[in-house]
Structure 1
Amino acid sequence: MTRDGLGVFDWLARAQAAPEQAHKEWAETGIALLPLGKRFNSVYLPGYLVHVAAGTDDQDVVTWMFAELLDGPVIHNRPQNQYYALVEPTNTHTWTQEYREAPMLGAGQFLSVPASDLRGPTGLYWAVLPRIVGDLCAVPSVAALIHMARDPRRAGAR
């Protein structure tokens, strides 16, 4: 892993009061449980919503869409067909009022974050890795993805 990659995961680990605990969890299990609301929040994106927006459930196409549209880190929980876009901390209540089908998780909640080397295709892994310290998806970009999925022409095309 590059020095920049280590910096990214050090930055993520500092979401915990004891960052060394996150590194220990990554080393031992491949997954660290990180608190939300301090460094980042997460938007839960159900698989059906992502697949409607992408027009397919092909993982290569979905990953490309995330990289192009969200331009930030996304975790995929393949067994449950769930995605988690990492976003800047913002008001979760305001978001969830408008985007009920894709709630934002924040302060007081936790997210299972895979180690940097977990790249799929099974289990919990990074669909799109964070590239630099502070790399997050823009909230308006995540909203745009949800609006794409809400388009009745897309939903009917599947």
Structure 2
Amino acid sequence: MLASGHWLLSAAPVSAQAKAEWEESGAAWLRPSFLFAAVIVPAGVVHAAVGLDGPEACRAPLAEALEYGPLFYSPDDFSNEGSYTALVPGRVARLRPIPGVVMHPQRALLLVPAPGVTAPDDSGPWWVSPLDGPGLLCPPERVAALVAMGRGFLAAEEPQDA
């Protein structure tokens, strides 16, 4: 396992169990804390921001927009709309919330794909932009800008009352 996988495992309640879950099912329950926080964004907001549909089509522009920070897709969130989860520095959890996203509560369990899961498989989460190394996270200002752009495009598409 790469260093990034070992680093993520340090957020597991029981590292050996999480490693076994990664090997068996491709995803494990981790606890964001001081190592990283998780910002969960509805897929529709992300797709509006990049002007593309689907996580596979969005892979390259999202990686570039988030400076190749770790981002994974979960198909079952938000009433099966799907969501993207950006891993950001842990301090972000204590900052002002970003409108239109869910800041995953620190210390609450989060289902995280194994480091090598980089394509859709059995409806579990998978990395759109994998973690490149320990502590190499998404810049929070880039995540906020992406969300603001997507929300702006969606608001412009809504019918205007006369």
State if a TM-score over 0.5 links the two structures.
yes
In structure 2, what is the Cα distance between the partners aligned to 1:153 and 1:28? 39
Structure 1 unmatched ranges of 5 or more: none
For 1:121, what is the secondary structure of its paired residue? coil
In structure 2, what is the Cα distance between the partners aligned to 1:105 and 1:136? 15
Matches within 5 A, 1:1-158: 6-71=2-67, 72-79=69-76, 80=80, 81-92=82-93, 94-96=95-97, 99-122=98-121, 123=123, 124-152=125-153, 155-156=156-157
In structure 2, what is the Cα distance between the partners aligned to 1:10 and 1:54? 32
Segment of structure 1 superposing worse, 87-96 or 39-48: 87-96
Segment of structure 1 superposing worse, 128-137 or 114-123: 114-123
Paired residue total: 151
Aligned-residue CA RMSD in angstroms?
Answer: 2.2
Alpha-carbon contact 1:26-1:32 (below 8 Å) kept:
yes
Matched letter for residue 112 of structure 2: V
- Compute the TM-score of the two structures, normalised by the length of structure 1: 0.84
Alpha-carbon contact 1:95-1:103 (below 8 Å) kept:
no
For 2:96, what is the secondary structure of its paired residue? helix
Identity %: 30
Structure 2 unmatched ranges of 5 or more: none
In structure 1, what is the Cα distance between the partners aligned to 2:102 and 2:63? 21
For 1:136, what is the secondary structure of its paired residue? coil
